[in-house]
Amino acid sequence: MAISSNVLGIVLRSYPLGEKDRILVLLTSEQGKLRVVAKGARRPGGRFAALEPLVEVQAAVHPGKGLYTLTQASIITSHREVREQLERLAYGLFMAELMDLFTVDAEVRAVSYDLLSRALSCLEQDQPEKLLAYFSTQLLRQMGLLPAWESCSACQGERQLVALNLPEGGLICAACAKKLGGLPVDQPTLLLLQYFAQVGWDGYGAVSGESHTLKLSRLLEQFMFYQLSTRPHSYDFLNSVRQH
């Protein structure tokens, strides 16, 4: 007999099921990404109506055919400071969608949950572009998809790296950039990428200054969209409220 289990989860997104119910895509700490039916969630005042994207819950779920059923949920945090500010909400939804796109259901590990949970907490007060740069770096690192920077990704030469070439999947030298093209990367931005790839949240907190964090988040965006072969739906919303 199938047994219910308790999970810690973040609602990545949800979509309607019939007139009354919703399916929640939950990133859980214990069981990866689950699709969970929340009965009555579309009814105002319904039992699960407050389970909107970015909300973190302690949930009891019961396995069924393909989908799980939510039997109990208590909200740990709704990230209200994020949800109530349009700009922060846009960054939060973008990070949640990136996490959703990069993760395959069963393969999600607890580190992915921790990364998104911590990022959403930081989003309540931090400079969002710096946070997005760090989140993107760590997400790519967890997925084993960081751009290569050990040597030129095209000619393997030990030269100064000046551009990111998307098809090569890494940084390239000036001579190769001339031939192949690429997104220009200055040295401080490359150093910041290397630093963010190595440090934990304390190291992230120690970085100040906006210009290179913005350059890095913009650069990694293009890199991630290329890796995903798509642009997240929430990207247009993000750009409509972004202040840069």
Enter the tokens of residue 141.
Answer: 């690192």
Q: Supply the minimum distance, in Å, between the C-beta of residue 155 and Zn ion.
A: 3
Q: Does residue 22 sit in helix, strand or coil?
A: strand
Least distance to Zn ion from the beta carbon of 225, Å?
24
Q: Which stretch binds Zn ion (CB under 5 A): 68-76, 78-86, 135-143, 166-174?
A: 166-174
- What is the DSSP pairing of strand 32-38 with strand 68-77? parallel
Near Zn ion by CB under 5 A: residue from 59, 152, 171, 214: 152
Q: Does 185 bind Zn ion (CB under 5 A)?
A: no
Can residue 161 be called a binding residue for Zn ion (CB under 5 A)? no
Amino acid at 125: Q
Tell me which residues in 122-141 interact with Zn ion (CB under 5 A).
none
Residues touching Zn ion, count (CB under 5 A): 6
The reply on whether position 173 binds Zn ion by CB under 5 A is yes
> DSSP characters for 39-107?
TTTTSTT-TTTT--TT-EEEEEEEE-SSSEEEEEEEEEE--HHHHTSHHHHHHHHHHHHHHHHH--GGG
- By C-beta, is 132 or 154 nearer to Zn ion? 154
Instruction: Answer yes or no whether residue 154 interacts with Zn ion by CB under 5 A.
Output: yes
Task: Report residue 69 as tokens.
Answer: 């059923």
Contact call for residues 70 and 24 (beta carbons, < 8 A): yes
Binding range to Zn ion, per CB under 5 A, among 95-103, 119-127, 133-141, 170-178: 170-178
Task: Identify which range of 87-95, 135-143, 174-182, 209-217 contacts Zn ion by CB under 5 A.
Answer: 174-182
- Among 6-14, 72-80, 148-156, 232-240, the segment contacting Zn ion (CB under 5 A): 148-156
Q: 97 vs 168, which CB is nearer to Zn ion?
A: 168
Beta bridge partners of 70: 61
Compute the least distance from the CB of residue 147 to Zn ion, in Å.
14
Residue nearer to Zn ion on the CB measure, 176 or 190 = 176
Q: Report the interface residues with Zn ion, using CB under 5 A.
A: 152, 154-155, 157, 173, 176
